[in-house]
Amino acid sequence: MSKYFLGIDQGTTGVTALLFDRSFTPVACGYREIRQYYPKAGWVEHDPTDIFDATCAAVGEAMTVACAAPADILAIGIDHEGESVALWDSETGKPVYPAIIWQDRRTAARAEELGAQYGDLFRAKTALTPDSYFSATKIEWILQNVPECEALYCQNRLRAGNMDAWLLYHITGGKAHKTDASTASRTMLYNIEAGTWDSELCAICGIDPQILPEVGDSARVFGISDPANFLGIEAPITALLNDQQAALLGQGCIEKGMLKTTYGTGCFMLMNTGDTPVRSGNGLITTVAWQFNGKRTYALDGGVYIAGAAMQWLRDGLGIITSAKESAPMALSLSDNGGVYFVPAFSGLAAPHWDPYATGTMIGITGGTTRAHIVRATEEAIAYQVADLATAMEKDAQVPLVLIRCDGGAVQDRFLMQFQADILNLPLELPSCTEATALGTAFAAAIGAGYAKLEDAKHLFSPQTRYTPEMDSPKRQELLYGWHKALERAKGWYEEK
């Protein structure tokens, strides 16, 4: 008898595959890194084929660890990195261009044009302010800059989608081209209240909705995995979700007002706002959390572009550390940051600042600055950015924040978590299963396959660790003042002409 739910978490820097038993206890995990490419300043890309290959490898590893057979898979759920996009030939399955990642800023000027001319229209229909972060301008750019697209479009062979649609297409052997409402709400092409692709917005961006995936519920039968393409597995794919919404579900935040923060390549805070979209006045994003049985749940979303990616830069770009595990001991070796502040605006600044021209900036360096100071400043920068999100979230929600549930790889960093609790002046709770994103995806797959109900998700969160604030208020205010002065230096000092 089949016995495992498979949760595939496709993130920006890697793919995690987890097998969960019927009680949603993790049984086995597989992981493969994904490479990012930086062909020009501000450009960030993936090879879409590498993403599918990494997915197969991660799933294969989890299956091996669990000694699981293909027939042991009950249902498959897929979450993905969000706004990143690919376009491909539906007959060959080959991409026409590398995937453009959510961090990519090449379309910043175009997004500004759209904002100036149609900003109110986009905000009214999508609750989003035009920005190159979202998918629409990325798709438009590929259509305009890759000659192959026109010929494929004329032959009805051109397909476009986020990474969920790309993976679904290949896992099903080219039989399914679908997505869900949570992902569609990140494209700038989806009418957030009508629940459909918006033909007027698509026309403004020169995108025929026919090349986009069918959009609907987050939990349903999207297709059946093709055993010839997917490790011999023939199981229903019954959930697609944006990764941060999957984490919100995996943290059991199914009631209005509950919120979580995920620490990954970026850092994302989401608050469940119930069945009504709350339009932010403080730089946050209004998004769909999920859609089940035609009913949408909404969320407020604050995203930080660079969190774990900054630690990866210390490792791969500077060689200051050889592993992220070294960072906490180095940070703890110091009594303070030595006046060093780092704004990791490698791809501009997202919520709540929305400055595509901000650049990475480090200030306060003296002759006494050491590797440890740079590492500590990088760790602190993650926490400061989350604190800015929390301030905006509290204003929009108009209720005081009292607790934040946290997940993601970086929650294992005890310096970061304690500093985060201190700078927020809020307690943090960490779950027993830190891979909340894959858990939420697997649980959604169980819903889609008829094995679970949404209300059961409240039992998914089991607190294992709690961090409480220990910093006094004057010290907190001093550090936040220093951070915001550094932030001013990083913002928009250079703008494209």
Domain ranges of the chain: 4-246
Query: How far is residue 301's CA from residue 272's CA, in Å, rounded to a whole number?
Result: 9
The reported pLDDT for the residue numbered 1 is 60
Q: What is the pLDDT along the chain (497 residues), one digit of tens a residue?
A: 679 999 999 999 899 999 999 999 999 999 999 999 999 988 999 999 999 999 999 999 999 999 999 999 999 999 999 999 999 999 999 999 999 999 999 999 999 999 999 999 999 999 999 999 999 999 999 999 999 999 999 999 999 999 999 999 999 999 999 999 999 999 999 999 899 999 999 999 999 999 999 999 999 999 999 999 999 999 999 999 999 999 999 999 999 989 999 998 889 999 999 998 999 999 998 999 999 999 999 999 998 988 888 999 999 999 999 998 999 999 999 999 999 999 999 988 888 998 888 999 999 999 999 999 999 999 999 999 999 999 999 999 888 899 999 988 889 999 999 999 999 999 999 988 878 899 999 999 999 999 999 999 988 988 889 999 999 999 999 999 999 999 999 986 555 43
pLDDT digits (tens, 9 = 90+) for 306-355: 888 899 999 999 999 999 899 999 999 999 999 999 999 998 888 899 88
What's the confidence (pLDDT) of residue 47? 97
Could you read off the pLDDT of 260-302 as tens digits, one per residue?
999 988 899 999 999 989 999 999 989 999 999 999 999 999 9
| CATH 3.30.420.40 at 4-246, yes or no | yes
Residue-wise pLDDT for 49-65, tens only, equals 999 999 999 999 999 99
pLDDT of residue 453: 95
